[in-house]
């Protein structure tokens, strides 16, 4: 249940080329439009206006003007090119330049230059994306988000103008507004690649299994083997994104055995050829709708901090960063050494719908009976203790110590106990006496107000031994 997000392997060539042209023009003292663009003057030949407006991107008035614009351009344009591709970046520059230049020509004059028109278009796009990804705007319409982004961008342009004019400088306000509007129009029209922008997010079919497994095996062999076994049983609640007849990504969920209204995110991957295009986030938006239709109230995500022995890299760090920063998922718990020595279990959660009613009472009148030792799922050397419920309070210290001895004989490195929070509170005395310690909880797991509480016993030789 991991998300594959790898760093881009290609350079943002269009970003670099446009930046280099700006430097070359400035080096040859082409910092103003008076000379170089005189032949393209729209006042003499309006047909040449588009060339004039695009050409002004490469001209800058002084070093400060150039360095500020190139810095912003490098940050925004490279990210946009990685996400949307070089052709889309070229398109944004052309459209923003023509729209912003025309607006400036109408309300002011032709004395403007620099990359700022294109920069404001890109800035507006990223403000729109940020608002779309923020939970408060998650369910809002595209038009509503576009309007909110416009308010923020125009406020910034106004502040910029006040600062410039108070210092005795001019700024191309109309051009900046036009560039920002061009960027927002591209989002309002659904520009960009991803499941919600014309590429189907659909249920996974049997003929998708092969391509999907290829993607998973390419990233993690263990996940591939587990996915293969799961797909043989059922493809329920599994989905793919198809772009140009190819599987670009997959995701899905499985309903938890402990509750009909909670689920776990299943294998979620993006094909290497389609990385950095916003597909992962778009898939999560789409899967949320599927979770709502299935009646889920909360979805959980499990991942780890596995370090690749060959490269020494924490291969799931990009996934954890995506969950925390892009999805604003809540990190519920970190269980040290759950999957093996040195590999911890991370659990995140995302609400699907708001809780309803009062919290459920936590385990009044029930006490745990610890009955058996089982291998922990996907763990090497980790075990879990199975339990039952009793209406009588019984000292379970002896039973726990016996199960610990069984684990020691099996060369276990750790034993874990997970229980509803009420049972956990009622069994805490026996667990503590046997050497277990509480390591965290997953909130509202069994029901609203009933958490899944984790206890752990680490054997000697483990860095986390109690």
pLDDT tens, residue by residue, 41-74:
555 556 667 777 887 788 877 888 889 989 999 9
What pLDDT does 47 receive?
A: 67
What pLDDT does 228 receive?
A: 92
Best CA proximity match to 373, nearest among 381, 383, 364: 383
Question: Across residues 390-405, what is the average pLDDT?
Answer: 92
Question: Across residues 387-391, what is the average pLDDT?
Answer: 90
Q: Which tens digits make up the pLDDT trace of 333-370?
A: 999 999 989 899 999 999 988 766 555 555 567 899 99
Question: Across residues 75-104, what is the average pLDDT?
Answer: 85
pTM of the model: 0.58
Q: Examine the pLDDT at 135 and tell me if it is beyond 50.
A: no
What pLDDT does 306 receive?
A: 87
What pLDDT does 349 receive?
A: 94
For the domain covering 196-351, report its CATH number: 3.40.630.30
Return the number of other C-beta atoms located less than 10 Å from residue 252's C-beta. Answer: 25
Query: How would residue 126 be classed by pLDDT, with cut points 50, 70 and 90?
Result: confident
Query: How would residue 371 be classed by pLDDT, with cut points 50, 70 and 90?
Result: very high
Q: Which of 23-37, 103-117, 348-362, 369-383 has the lowest mean pLDDT?
A: 23-37
Between 255 and 326, name the one with better pLDDT.
Answer: 255
Contact 238, 266 (CB under 8 A): yes
Q: Examine the pLDDT at 139 and tell me if it is beyond 60.
A: no
Q: Is 221 exposed, middle or buried (0-12, 13-18, 19+ CB in 10 A)?
A: exposed
- DSSP H or E segment with residue 156: helix 142-166
For the domain covering 10-192, report its CATH number: 1.20.1540.10
Count of residues making up the chain:
466
Residue 248 has phi, psi (to 5 degrees) of: -95, -20
Between 401 and 286, name the one with better pLDDT.
Answer: 401
Question: Across residues 117-138, what is the average pLDDT?
Answer: 75
What pLDDT does 5 receive?
A: 33
Q: Examine the pLDDT at 463 and tell me if it is beyond 50.
A: no
**DSSP category for residue 307:** B
What pLDDT does 209 receive?
A: 93
* CA gap 376, 457 in Å, rounded: 13
Query: 């509170």: which residue's tokens?
Result: 425
* CA gap 280, 241 in Å, rounded: 10
Between 334 and 131, name the one with better pLDDT.
Answer: 334
Share of the chain above pLDDT 70, in %: 84
Cβ partners under 8 Å of residue 151, min gap 6: none
* CA gap 412, 334 in Å, rounded: 19
- Angle in degrees, CA 290, 316, 203, rounded to 5: 25
Best CA proximity match to 352, nearest among 269, 261, 282, 268: 261
What pLDDT does 405 receive?
A: 95
Question: Across residues 397-410, what is the average pLDDT?
Answer: 95
**DSSP category for residue 362:** -
Q: Examine the pLDDT at 179 and tell me if it is beyond 60.
A: yes
Domain residue ranges of the chain, discontinuous segments joined by +: 10-192, 196-351, 367-458
Share of the chain above pLDDT 90, in %: 35
Query: 């032709």: which residue's tokens?
Result: 110
Report the Cα–Cα distance between both ends of the chain, in Å, rounded. Answer: 29
Q: Which of 1-15, 135-149, 297-311, 432-446 has the lowest mean pLDDT?
A: 1-15
Contact 383, 436 (CB under 8 A): no
Cβ partners under 8 Å of residue 8, min gap 6: 82, 275, 276
What pLDDT does 150 receive?
A: 86
Is residue 454 helix, strand or coil?
A: strand
What pLDDT does 110 receive?
A: 57
Q: Would you say the CATH fold of 367-458 matches that of 10-192?
A: no
* 13-27 vs 63-84: helix crossing angle, rounded to 10: 160
Residue 203 has phi, psi (to 5 degrees) of: -60, 145
Question: Across residues 319-334, what is the average pLDDT?
Answer: 89
Q: Examine the pLDDT at 13 and tell me if it is beyond 50.
A: yes
* CA gap 244, 207 in Å, rounded: 16
CATH 1.10.1060.10 for domain 367-458:
no
What pLDDT does 400 receive?
A: 95
What pLDDT does 29 receive?
A: 62
Q: What is the mean pLDDT of the chain?
A: 82
Question: Across residues 217-222, what is the average pLDDT?
Answer: 83
Question: Across residues 225-250, what is the average pLDDT?
Answer: 90
Among 8-22, 72-86, 127-141, top mean pLDDT goes to 72-86
Query: 């670099």: which residue's tokens?
Result: 16
């Amino acid at each position: 249940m991991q998300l594959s997000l790898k760093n881009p392997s290609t350079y943002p060539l269009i970003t670099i080329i446009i930046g280099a042209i700006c430097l070359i023009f400035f080096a040859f003292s082409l910092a103003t439009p008076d000379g170089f663009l005189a032949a393209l003057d729209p006042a003499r030949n309006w047909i040449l206006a588009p060339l004039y407006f695009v050409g002004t991107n490469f001209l800058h008035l002084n070093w400060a003007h150039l360095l500020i614009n190139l810095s912003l351009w490098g940050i925004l344009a490279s990210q946009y090119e990685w996400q949307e591709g070089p052709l889309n970046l070229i398109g944004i520059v052309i459209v923003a330049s023509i729209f912003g230049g025309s607006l400036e020509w109408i309300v002011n004059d032709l004395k403007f230059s620099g990359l700022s028109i294109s920069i404001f278009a890109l800035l507006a796009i990223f403000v729109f994306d940020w608002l779309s990804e923020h939970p408060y705007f998650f369910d809002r319409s595209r038009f509503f988000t576009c309007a909110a982004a416009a308010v923020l961008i125009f406020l910034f342009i106004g502040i910029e103008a006040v600062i410039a004019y108070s210092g005795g400088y001019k700024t191309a306000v109309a051009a900046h507004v036009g560039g920002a509007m061009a960027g927002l129009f591209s989002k309002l029209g659904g520009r960009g690649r991803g499941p919600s922008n014309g590429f189907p997010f659909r249920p996974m079919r049997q003929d998708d299994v092969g391509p999907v497994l290829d993607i998973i095996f390419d990233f993690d062999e263990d996940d591939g083997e587990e996915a293969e076994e799961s797909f043989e049983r059922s493809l329920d609640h599994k989905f793919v994104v198809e772009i140009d007849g190819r599987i670009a990504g997959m995701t899905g969920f499985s309903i938890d055995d402990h509750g009909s209204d909670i689920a776990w995110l299943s294998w979620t991957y993006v094909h290497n050829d389609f990385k950095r295009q916003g597909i992962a986030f778009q898939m999560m938006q789409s899967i949320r709708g599927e979770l709502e239709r299935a009646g889920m109230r909360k979805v959980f995500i499990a991942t780890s901090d596995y370090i690749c022995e060959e490269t020494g890299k924490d291969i799931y760090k990009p996934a954890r960063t995506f969950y925390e920063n892009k999805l604003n998922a809540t990190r519920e718990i970190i269980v040290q050494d759950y999957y093996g020595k040195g590999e911890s279990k991370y659990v995140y959660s995302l609400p699907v719908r708001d809780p309803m009613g009062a919290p459920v009472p936590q385990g009044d009148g029930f006490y745990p009976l610890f009955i058996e030792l089982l291998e922990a799922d996907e763990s090497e050397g980790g075990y879990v203790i199975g339990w039952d419920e009793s209406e009588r309070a019984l000292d379970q210290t002896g039973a726990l110590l016996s199960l610990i001895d069984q684990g020691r004989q099996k060369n276990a490195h750790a034993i874990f106990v997970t229980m509803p929070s009420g049972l956990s509170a009622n069994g805490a005395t026996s667990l503590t006496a046997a050497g277990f310690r509480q390591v965290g909880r997953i909130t509202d797991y069994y029901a609203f107000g009933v958490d899944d509480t984790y206890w752990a016993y680490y054997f000697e030789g483990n860095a986390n031994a109690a």
